[in-house]
Structure 1
Amino acid sequence: MTVTSGSVTLKKDPQNLVGISIGGGAPYCPCLYVVQVFDSTPAARDGTIQAGDEITGVGGISVKGKGKVEVAHLIQSFKALPSYSLIETVTIFFNKLHADPKQGKTLDIVLKKMKHRMVENMEASTADALGLSRAILVNDGLVKKMDELDRTASMFAGLVTHSRSLVRAIFNLSKVHHGEFDAFSSLSFPNV
């Protein structure tokens, strides 16, 4: 895995937003990160910043030790410079984690399962502070597929157990028939 640093200058929309949801931050988490990039927003149209990216600064100001609400207000506080235009922009500095493509799917499954287990045992307020939504995890396709695979594995284990019992019953029945055959054959053909 590698980490690359970058920055993106985004134009704000009429509501003074750039279109990202921020998670983590003080007091629960040492870093701030992008939880979600909303559709049809400046951040989505630009495509540079993505969910999972760590936010390190806003407009040249470090966000280390700040809370997510504080950073959201910081993003909104940047105003347009009169000499440039009426469109307000903000520069967001971030770190991006790049996983090895060979391990990508395996890593994604492991991380999602770990995230799911963590959120199951968390208070709702703590999960919210970390930007982990229970609803997103419940609807997560990967988690649903894993549950489906677990159910399928249980079903096949049950089929194997049932098949073993059936084979034993057939074997025992064949022993009974063999005993009956021996009994009837001794009656029909007495020993000479």
Structure 2
Amino acid sequence: MSKRPIDRRRLLKGAASLAVLAPLPAWASTAPTVTEIAFDPAIPALGNPDGDVTIAEFVDYQCPICKLVFVELKKLMAEDSGIRLVMKDWPIFGDVSRDAARVALLSGEHYTAAVDALMTNQRGLSERRTNDILSSVGVDVAMVRAYLAIREPDIDAALLRTDSQATAFKLRGTPALVIGGSLYRRGMPVSELRQAVAKARSA
């Protein structure tokens, strides 16, 4: 993976061209519900856990556009205390991404810092790099990895639920956002996120 700085404007422009707003209808009897997407008990919420609008982002910790969208989401949460953010780990970049998702989900009280550190990292991941990133924000990586040996079936079940939801939506990659009752098959700058949140509140 390239170590060059991310070109924010280029990537956001590219993300915006991927798709347009698609509502979340009952496409099929197997389509996941908003509750299933936004309130998976295995996934902690960022922002305001009691917020009135939930944003769920299908994300991979090695996806450069996901990282840009996360910056925009942080801006949104800084100005809007009603946002509840759920990171839907969909490790499409392979085993290293899956490993990072597993460890982050088990980082307990450090989960928010772990997500932030992984999303702001601009280097390619490896197990060692993931360990270093999480250790830098206070995660006891040795303890978490020992715990993972016990909790791995539960964590993998959560990742499988997210994968099944992404498959049901026919997503082609990350990022994708579910905001209120609408699916956006792309990343968005904060200006568009505000509009999507306003739409969710008005509904």
The answer to whether TM tops 0.5 is no
- With normalisation by structure 2, the TM-score equals 0.21
| Greater fraction strand | 1
Return the index of the structure with the highest Cα Rg: 1
Larger RCO: Structure 1 or Structure 2 (Cα < 8 Å, ≥ 6 residues apart)? Answer: 2
